[in-house]
Homo-oligomer: A and B are copies of this chain.
Amino acid sequence: MEIPPSTLPDNRFSALITDLLPICRSITGSGVTRTLERLQQEIPILIREVPSGAPALDWTVPNEWNIRDAWVKNSRGERVIDFKKSNLHVVSYSTPVNATMTLDELKPHLFSLPAQPTAIPYRTSYYNESWGFCLSHEDLLKLEIGNYEVVIDSELKPGFLRYGELLIKGEVEEEILITTHLCHPTMCNDNLSGLTVATLLAKMIAESSPHFSYRFLFIPGTIGSLAWLAANEDHLGKIKCGLVLTGVGDPGSPTYKKSRRADSVIDRVMEYVLKSGSPKFEIRNFSPFGYDERQFCSPAFDLPVGCLMRTPHGEYPEYHTSLDNPDFIKLESLQDTLRICLRCFELLENNRFYLNLFPKGEPQLGKRGLYQAMGQQTKDRQSLQLAMLWVLNYSDGGHDLLDISLKSSLPFDIVTAAAKLLEECKVIRPIPSAHAM
A300: chain B residues within 8 A (beta carbon): 359-360
Residue A277 is within 8 A (CB to CB) of chain B in the complex: no
**Cβ of A260 to closest chain B Cβ, rounded Å:** 7
Residue in contact with A361 in the complex, picked from B58, B356, B361, B362, CB distance below 8 Å? B58
Residue from A58, A287, A375 with most neighbouring chain B CB atoms (10 Å)? A58
Query: Which chain A residues in 263-307 approach chain B with CB under 8 Å?
Result: 287-289, 294-295, 297-301
Please judge, given known A-B contacts A389-B289, A393-B288, whether A294 and B362 are in contact too, CB under 8 Å: yes
The distance in angstroms between the C-alpha atoms of A354 and B389, with both chains bound, is 40
Q: Are B127 and A298 in contact (CB under 8 A)?
A: no
Taken together, the copies of this chain in the complex come to: 3
A363 (CB) vs chain B CBs: closest residue: B58
* Residues of the B chain whose Cβ atoms lie less than 8 Å from the Cβ of A128: 366, 373-374
Once the chains are docked, how many angstroms separate the CA of A366 from the CA of B359?
56
A389 and B288 within 8 A (CB): yes
CB of A213 within 8 Å of the partner chain:
no
Known: A287-B408, A395-B299, A396-B299. A58 touches B364 (CB 8 A): yes
Q: How far is the CA of A218 from the CA of B120 in the complex (A)?
A: 68
Looking at chain A, what size class is its interface with the partner chain? 35 or more
Closest to A385 in B: B289
Partner of A301, one of B91, B361, B366: B361
**Residues of chain A in range 339-362 having any CB-CB distance to chain B below 8 Å:** 356, 358-362
Query: Is A163 part of the binding interface, using a Cβ–Cβ cutoff of 8 Å?
Result: no
Cα separation A118 to B222 with both chains bound (whole Å): 74
1/0 per residue A293-331: CB within 8 Å of B? 011011111000000000000000000000000000000
A390 at interface (Cβ–Cβ under 8 A)? yes
Is B298's CB under 8 angstroms from A359's CB? yes
Check B288–A361 contact: CB distance below 8 A.
no
A358 near B389 (CB under 8 angstroms)? no
Q: Which residue in B288, B295, B393 is a CB contact (below 8 Å) of A299? A: B393
Cβ of A420 to closest chain B Cβ, rounded Å: 18
| A123 partner, pick from B111, B226, B375, B393, beta carbons under 8 A | B375
- Cβ A364 vs Cβ B127 within 8 A: yes
Complex formed: what's the CA distance from A299 to B230 in Å?
44
Q: How far is the CA of A58 from the CA of B359 in the complex (A)?
A: 9
Contact yes or no, A360 B393, CB < 8 A: no
**Contact between B362 and A298 (Cβ–Cβ < 8 Å)?**
yes
Asked if residues B367 and A127 are in contact (CB atoms below 8 Å), the reply is yes
**In the complex, are the beta carbons of B125 and A373 less than 8 A apart?**
yes
A214 cross-chain contacts in B, Cβ below 8 A: none
Sample 24 A-B pairs with CB under 8 A, ordered by A number. A57-B360, A58-B364, A59-B361, A91-B374, A123-B375, A125-B374, A127-B367, A127-B373, A132-B374, A225-B361, A226-B361, A226-B362, A233-B360, A287-B390, A288-B393, A294-B393, A295-B361, A297-B393, A298-B361, A299-B392, A299-B393, A299-B394, A299-B395, A301-B361
Q: Could you list 14 further interchain pairs (A-B, Cβ under 8 angstroms) beyond the known A230-B361, A294-B389, A298-B393?
A: A58-B360, A58-B363, A123-B375, A127-B366, A128-B373, A229-B360, A230-B360, A288-B393, A295-B362, A298-B392, A299-B359, A299-B392, A299-B396, A301-B361
4 closest Cβ pairs, A-B complex: A300-B359, A288-B393, A299-B396, A288-B389
